[in-house]
Amino acid sequence: LFAVVTVLEEMMLKTISCSQYLAVLGFIGSVVACTQTFFLEFSELITFNWYELETIVQLGSYCSVQTIFHILQSFMLRDAGSIILHLSFLSADYYTVIAGMFIFQFKFHALYFL
């Protein structure tokens, strides 16, 4: 599903600018997320403690990281394409395994490399 979405995003970014794409993504994403949250998580929203500093920092950090990710992803899709994006995600997993083996001395099962 993620591959289909990124290919469609690439097609959109070839026809419109990154700022227009991010505006549409933000608007539609906000409507969908608010609707889902209202219908599926309303009782949890009422009882949730919104005044703890840790909660505010975690939610703010998550929103900031997601915003940065989508901005950088839109530029990468526009400039390089969805194939390069997916290959970079796969190679990042591979480099994580290599770093874990040599830096942290983790022992991975051989089937992980398949």
Q: For residue 42, what are the domain limits?
A: 2-113
Give residues with Cβ within 8 angstroms of 77, minimum separation 6.
Answer: 6, 9, 10, 13, 85
State both tokens at 72. Answer: 């950088």
CA 80, CA 82: separation in Å to the nearest integer? Answer: 7
The per-residue pLDDT for 65 is 96
In the predicted model, what is the mean pLDDT of residues 14-27?
Answer: 90
CA 76, CA 111: separation in Å to the nearest integer? Answer: 31
The total of structural domains in the chain comes to 1
The per-residue pLDDT for 106 is 80
Given a cut of 80, whether residue 93 has pLDDT beyond it is no
Q: Is 51 helix (H, G, I), strand (E, B) or coil?
A: coil
pLDDT class of 113 with cuts at 50, 70, 90? low
In the predicted model, what is the mean pLDDT of residues 5-29?
Answer: 90
In the predicted model, what is the mean pLDDT of residues 69-95?
Answer: 85
Q: What's the mean per-residue pLDDT of the chain?
A: 87
pLDDT in tens, 34-70: 999 999 999 998 888 888 899 899 999 999 999 999 8
Whole-model pTM: value is 0.70
DSSP string, 92-111: HHHHHHHHHHHTS-----GG
CA 38, CA 46: separation in Å to the nearest integer? Answer: 11
CA 23, CA 29: separation in Å to the nearest integer? Answer: 10
**Is 86 exposed, middle or buried (CB count within 10 Å of its CB: 0-12, 13-18, 19+)?**
middle
